[in-house]
Amino acid sequence: MSAAAPAAPATDVQTHGNYIAGEWRPAKSGATFENRNPANVDDLIGHFAASGQEDVEAAVTAAAETAEAWRNTSAIARANILFKAADLLAARANDVGRELTREEGKTLKEGVGETTRAVQILRYFAGEAQQPSGEHYPSINPLTLLYTVREPLGVVATITPWNFPIAIPAWKIAPALAFGNTVVFKPASLTPLCAVRLTEALAEAGLPAGVLNLVTGSAGAVGDPLVRDHRVVGISFTGSNAVGGALRTIAAERGAKLQLELGGKNPAIVLADADLDQALSHVVNGAMMSTGQKCTATSRAIVDRRLVDQFTEQLTDRIKALRVGDPLQADTQIGPVISEDAAERITGEVADATKAGVPLLAGGHRLGDNGRGRGYFVAPTLFGNVDPTSRLGQEELFGPVLGVIPVDGLDEAIAVANAVRFGLSASLFTRDLGKALAFVRGIQAGIVHVNSETAGAEPQVPFGGMKGSSSYSREQGKAAREFFTQTKTVYIDVPPAS
Ligand code: ADP
């Protein structure tokens, strides 16, 4: 594994406020928090508003006061603003992508790629806003005009994680706005700059004051009052299962509509007839790109016993060869994990599994040489012969850690793949069409791949998981309209002719 020293710290450190009622303003308390580069903690990226209940209150008030006017704005006008925001963000994609890499730690290619994806999402929902949104029905009375319309919910909260700091906010905020809702946006505290950049693009594109409000700050001080505010009728959340569980209770108690995208323990099944090279490269990419910090990352390679030794040997070589270092350097393949806490948690889990006798084949330790000591670098990690019922086989580690689980054939592979509480994404590598179709039928996952990696989401199709990975609703594509609107059924009759 080679490495390049992280870039020299930048000097122009700015302070960014909240965006409330069309104004950039500091937290009412004046408090701020720092945002630092996970590849190099000496690189201070910016200061951000450390908001509290009074800022949330102001943001929800702004969103509530403008809800009626925004709902009555034509869908075409709303679409035009999203198209313009997409153009503004597209023109800035290289700069914003670089900032994304500096605050999140994924490689520059991934940072620019994610920003470009946010542009595509804005464009997709600008188009979607202009699609038909209700249905016309026959009535028992032939003269009755009977139809449905989809109306916005009102004020919605979008609460987002740090691992896709611009794409996930875009895929919640764009449909929320396109379908006529007003939004209070609470991004993860670890990646507030991307949230500022997305909000800037939408504000500059002409979004009326109060339609989108950004409030930065901690989960306790911002997220909690936001989800408890009775004026917030919809909550779209992506993050951990622990927080998702708490939100289920809060939303149920006060009758708010809730959408959850949570974790995964995503399997890649490799059958004996798979194209070995294809399976290896997709398993490595699925497990290790973005430092394994995707909810759709591959964390279990479930491999046919006839192939497992050969597969594991080659997998070990490929994982050991990954270049881990400063994600701003062009030849880096794997950046840091997001935080010191994450690095310690992941290496702690690895140590526990090793102590329990699971064979550690690659990585497992922190990397501190070649300038990496100022960041949160964890060597890409591979375990062989993982017990599928063990903690390593069951729990999401959210880092660059992959475990190989040997099985005898497809039926056992599917049974093992399904024997977890999650069901987000899954992939199968085979040349056998019958086995592929049996896998598609039998696997409990919301996103299913045959001969491609578990990660990846295109904006025009539904995204979401089964079982503990979501709340049954889906994001993106046409499915987004389901969450961000409600149905009104209309019967129109005319008085009898006099
Ligand atoms: P992650 O660490 O992957 O970002 P979390 O579930 O901790 O996952 O957080 C996801 C988002 O939810 C973040 O913006 C976080 O601040 C917010 N959040 C965390 N806890 C709560 C809570 N109790 N109420 C509302 N928002 C929360």
Give SS3 for 379: coil
Whether residue 7 has pLDDT greater than 60: no
What Rg do the C-alpha atoms of the chain give, in angstroms? 24
Catalytic choice (104, 110, 114, 295): 295
CA distances from 106 to 37, 294, 296, 324, 334 (A): 11, 11, 15, 11, 7
Cα–Cα distance for residue pair 498/225, rounded to 1 Å: 57
CA 240–ligand 1 middle distance (angstroms):
7
250 lines ligand 1 (CB under 6 A): no
Q: Is the pLDDT of residue 2 over 50?
A: no
6 has pLDDT over 60? no
Mutate to test the pocket of ligand 1, among 191, 243, 346 (most ligand atoms within 8 A of CB): 243
Claim: this prediction has a pTM higher than 0.75: yes
Tokens of 176: 């929320």
194 is annotated as an active-site residue: no
- pLDDT tens per residue, range 24-61: 999 999 999 999 999 999 999 999 999 999 999 999 99
pLDDT, average across residues 459-485? 96
Average pLDDT of the residues in 470-493 = 97
pLDDT of residue 497: 85
- Confidence at residue 406, expressed as pLDDT on a 0 to 100 scale: 98
Q: Average the pLDDT over 442-459 and give the result.
A: 96
Q: How would residue 111 be classed by pLDDT, with cut points 50, 70 and 90? A: very high
Of all residues in the chain, what percent carry a pLDDT higher than 70? Answer: 98
- Amino acid letter at 180? G
**Rounded Cα–Cα distance for residues 141 and 117 (Å):** 48
Residue 5 binned pLDDT confidence (cut-offs 50, 70, 90): very low
- For residue 51, the number of C-alpha atoms closer than 13 Å in the C-beta half-sphere is 34
pLDDT tens sequence across 262-314: 999 999 999 999 999 999 999 999 999 999 999 999 999 999 999 999 999 99
Residue 11's pLDDT band (cuts 50, 70, 90): low
pLDDT in tens, 184-237: 999 999 999 999 999 999 999 999 999 999 999 999 999 999 999 999 999 999
